[in-house]
Structure 1
C-alpha cells in the first residue's frame, strides 16, 4: 500500500525523511517521495544525508513573479496528475508551506486521505507567521489524520473541533533526524565552518549561531537584529559569530553590509544539514527566527533567542529552553549577555519535542488509519 510523502522545501524534506525510512522498513506500506519543485535543489540536498532520493518530481512551469498565486496555479494541476498516476492510499504533507496547502487541497478533491505531519501548531495570528499560519489552519480543516508533535498541539486541534480519534501525539520527526545525523559526527564540509571550528578550539572561544530568513524579518527587523549581533561581538571578546545567510540577494546584501569585514564574524551560504547540526552542537547560543532550529537546539541543550514576537512552538519557551526576544536590538543583546555570562541558564529538561521515536509512532497511526499493520504490531496489539 503506497503512502505518498510530499516535500517542496528543505524543512519539509528533513522532517519527512525519518518517516520515509520508517515506512520503507514496513512490510505492508511503501513510501513514495515526491518533490514539488517549490525550492529546486534544496529537497535533494536535505534527503541525501539519509540516503533518500525523490521518486517523482512535479512538472511545474518556471515561476516568473515568484508569487503565491503563481506557485499554487502551477502546483495544483501537477499534483492532481501525480496523485492520479500513483493512486496512493494516503498523502502525507508536512507543516505549513505552500506545497503543503496545495497538496492537501489536491488530495482532498480526489478523496485521498490527507495525513498532516506536525499538525496543531498555532499562533492564532494570521499575520505571524505569514502566510504559514493560514496555510496550517486550512490544512487542518482537510486532514484525515493529524500527527501532532506535542500534547499542546493536540489540545489546539481538539479546541477547534477535531475528533480525538483523528489525532496522534507523536513528537516531532525533526528530533529523529537531528539525532541520526548527530550520531554520525561527520566533519564539517563547509570550509568556513571547518576553519571557524579550529579557531574556536585553539583560542578557547565560544560560538554564537545566527539565522534569520523569514519574510517578515526582512528589512528593518533584520537591521535591528544585525545591530544586536554587532553589540554582542563588541561586548564579548571571546565570541565568534557564524551567520549562514539567506540566498535572497536582498537579504544577503543587508547581512554583508552590516557584518562583512567585522572581526570574529563569519557569513556563509546556507549550511547543508549535517553542518547545521554540527554548528548547533558547537554553539553556546543561537539567535534565530527558524521554527526548525527552535525544535532542534534543545536536543543539545543549546539556548535559543527566538527573533520573533510570537512563536507557534510555545513548548520550547515554556520549558525554559528558549526566550522570545523579537527583533529589539537592546533586548536581544541584553538577553544574550545574560546567557553568555551564566546569570541566565537554560533548563536542562531534554527536548520537549520528543526522544527520537516520532517516525515509529507516526507509522503506527497511519497503520491504524489505513487498517493495516505489521505482523509484529498485530502480535503486540493482541497480547
Structure 2
C-alpha cells in the first residue's frame, strides 16, 4: 500500500489565505494519498482569521507573530524562528508556500534549513525591479531559488523561471488558485440566502448607505455605475497616494451619478491623505456626519466574502493590489492598476488590465473613458481572463503526486 505523504501549507496574510484555502480543501479530499497539515503565521491576524472562518480551516499550528509596530525584520525573524520547532515536530515531506510575502520567503528558508522540499504556489511572477513592488519582488525571487516544485500560474510565469535557469521538469503551469477560490465563494453566495443576508448587514455596517445596499440586493440591474477602489501599496505612500486621492476626487465631481466605493486599509499612511483631501466627515464611521448626497463612500475594510460581492456589483475597479488584477477579470470587470509596474503582464496583454500608475491625468482620463465609451468598456470587460478556469488545485495535486512517484 502506498504510504501517505505529509504536506504542510504555510501562510500568514489574507491574500495568501484566500489563494491557499482552496488547495487546503482539495488536499483534504485526497486523504488516501496525503496527510494535510496547516500552519499559519498570523502576519495579518484579524484578516487572516476571517478567511480561515470562511473556508472552515482549522490550523494545526499558529505562530501568531503579529505585534504592533513590527517591521520587515521582525516578521522575517519571527517566522523563521517560529517554524524551526514546528517543522521538527511535524516532519512534513513538502512545505507549500504562496507568492511573495515575507511569510512565504521566511517559511521557504526555514524549510530549506531542514532540507525539506518547498513547493511554491504562484511561482514565476516578475517585474525584474527588486524595489517594485517592495519587498515582494525580492521575496519571490529568493523563494524561487529555494523551491523544488514551481507551480506557475501562467505560461509567462514559467518562461520567467526558465530564463533564470530553473529546471523545466520542476515547473508546471496550473492556472491561479485565486480563480478556484473566487468560484467557490460565488457559488456559496448564490446558494445561501442567509449568507446574502449577512453580506447585506456587513455592507450596511461598513458605512454604505441603505438605499445603495438595497439596490445591490434588488433582482433588477443596478441603475448607477459603481467604481470600486483599493489602495495600500508602500511604494505609493506619499506623493503617489496624494495623486491617487486627487484624481479620485476629480472623478467624483465629474461623475455625480456614479458611486465610488473605497474600503480603506487600516494603515495610517493610507487614511491620513484621504482625510486631508476629502475631509474628516467623509471618512467618519458615523453615517449621519456624512453628506447624504455624496457619491464617494469611504468604508471600513471588508472581509473577503462581502468584498467579492461588491466587486461583482462594480462597473470597474481602480486598485494597486496584485490579486484583484486576477480576480476582477474573472468577473468581467476592467481593472486600472495604480502602479508603474506589474508582475501580472498577462492581464495587460489580454486587455483586461491597464497600468495608469499614480499619474493624476492617466487615472482621470482612463476611468473617464471606461465610464463614457461603451465599446472601449466592452473590449476590456469581455476579454478572456488569462489566469485560469478554477482547476488549478487539482493540477497542483497531480503534479505533486507524480513528483513523489
Tell me which interval the TM-score lies in, with the shorter structure as reference length: over 0.9
Match of 1:198 in 2: 214
Please state how far the C-alpha of 1:347 moved relative to its aligned partner.
5.1
Structure 1 pair 194/104, CA: closer, same or farther in 2 (3 Å)? farther
Match of 1:58 in 2: 63
Please state how far the C-alpha of 1:255 moved relative to its aligned partner.
1.9
User: SS state of the match for residue 243, structure 1?
Assistant: strand
Is the 8 Å Cα contact of residues 4 and 32 (structure 1) preserved in structure 2?
yes
Q: For 1:125-145, what per-residue CA distance to the aligned partner results, in whole angstroms no more than 9, with x for missing partners? A: 011000110010010000000
**1:183 maps to 2:204:** no
Is the 8 Å Cα contact of residues 333 and 381 (structure 2) preserved in structure 1?
no
**1:330 maps to 2:361:** yes
| Cα distance in 1 for residues equivalent to 2:258 and 2:69 | 41
My pick for the range that moved more, 93-102 or 26-35, is: 26-35
Of 38, 44, 58, 2:49 maps to 44
| Cα distance in 2 for residues equivalent to 1:193 and 1:172 | 31
**1:104 maps to 2:92:** no
Alignment of 1:1-383 (within 5 A): 1-26=5-30, 27-58=32-63, 60=65, 63=67, 65-185=69-189, 186-187=195-196, 188=199, 189-191=202-204, 192-193=207-208, 195=210, 196-199=212-215, 204-259=223-278, 260=282, 261=290, 263-342=294-373, 344-345=376-377, 346=380, 348-371=382-405
User: SS state of the match for residue 361, structure 2?
Assistant: helix
When normalised by structure 1's length, the TM-score is: 0.93
When normalised by structure 2's length, the TM-score is: 0.88
Please state how far the C-alpha of 1:279 moved relative to its aligned partner.
1.1
Structure 1 pair 244/329, CA: closer, same or farther in 2 (3 Å)? same
Q: For 1:279-332, what per-residue CA distance to the aligned partner results, in whole angstroms no more than 9, with x for missing partners? A: 111110100000010000011110000000010000111100011000111110
> Unaligned stretches of 5+ in structure 1?
372-383
Is the 8 Å Cα contact of residues 203 and 213 (structure 2) preserved in structure 1?
no
Is the 8 Å Cα contact of residues 89 and 370 (structure 1) preserved in structure 2?
no
User: SS state of the match for residue 254, structure 1?
Assistant: helix
Please state how far the C-alpha of 1:234 moved relative to its aligned partner.
1.1
Is the 8 Å Cα contact of residues 256 and 267 (structure 1) preserved in structure 2?
no
Aligned-residue CA RMSD (Å): 1.7
Please state how far the C-alpha of 1:85 moved relative to its aligned partner.
0.7
> Unaligned stretches of 5+ in structure 2?
190-194, 283-289
Is the 8 Å Cα contact of residues 59 and 78 (structure 1) preserved in structure 2?
no
Is the 8 Å Cα contact of residues 329 and 381 (structure 2) preserved in structure 1?
no
Match of 1:375 in 2: none
